[in-house]
């Protein structure tokens, strides 16, 4: 009983310590321990560890100080939902606008087609009347 509680407390403390080391290491620049070591002693492995840790410092800060924080994750999720909602709204608006444009375009096309047909019909009718009139005049002149 008492030992298991003590053991759980020890594990919890170790987890907390490990978490603190992970969070604080990139911020405090502990990677420079390897940089200084590699400067004074010619140890190629220390150079590579220093370069790797120093290069990953920004990523570690992002992971441990931003993405692992619950409030940051919830804020990012809210932002994602807002952007997604805007995209869906925009897509729906485009669909409606496109459908309305097609309706208006087809209605306008029909109007133009009907007007052009009336014009052609009217011109054809006038040409036929003129032809008949000319034919009548020619007929009258030949009978005189």
Residue 12 banded pLDDT, cuts 50, 70, 90:
very high
Q: Quick one: pLDDT at residue 23?
A: 76
Between residues 105 and 131, the one the model is more confident about: 131
Mean pLDDT of 121-137: 85
Q: Quick one: pLDDT at residue 135?
A: 82
Q: Which range among 44-48, 86-90, 99-103 has the greatest average pLDDT?
A: 44-48
Q: Is 90 exceeded by the pLDDT of residue 13?
A: yes
Residue 141 banded pLDDT, cuts 50, 70, 90:
confident
| pTM over the 0.85 mark | no
Between residues 50 and 89, the one the model is more confident about: 50
Q: Quick one: pLDDT at residue 144?
A: 62
pLDDT tens readout for residues 96-120: 777 777 776 777 777 888 888 888 8
Q: Is 90 exceeded by the pLDDT of residue 3?
A: no
CA distances (Å), origin 108, targets 41, 96, 97, 113: 83, 18, 16, 8
């Amino acid at each position: 009983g008492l030992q298991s509680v003590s053991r759980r407390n020890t594990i919890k403390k170790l987890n907390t310590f490990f978490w603190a080391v992970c969070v604080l290491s990139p911020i405090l620049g502990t990677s420079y321990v390897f940089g200084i070591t590699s400067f004074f002693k010619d140890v190629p492995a220390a150079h590579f560890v220093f370069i790797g840790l120093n290069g990953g410092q920004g990523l570690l800060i992002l992971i441990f100080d931003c993405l692992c924080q619950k409030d940051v994750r919830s804020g990012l999720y809210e932002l994602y939902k807002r952007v997604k909602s805007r995209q869906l709204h925009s897509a729906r608006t485009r669909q409606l606008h496109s459908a309305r444009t097609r309706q208006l375009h087809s209605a306008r096309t029909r109007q133009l087609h009907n007007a052009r047909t009336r014009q052609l019909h009217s011109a054809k009718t006038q040409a036929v009347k003129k032809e008949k009139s000319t034919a009548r005049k020619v007929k009258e002149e030949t009978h005189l």
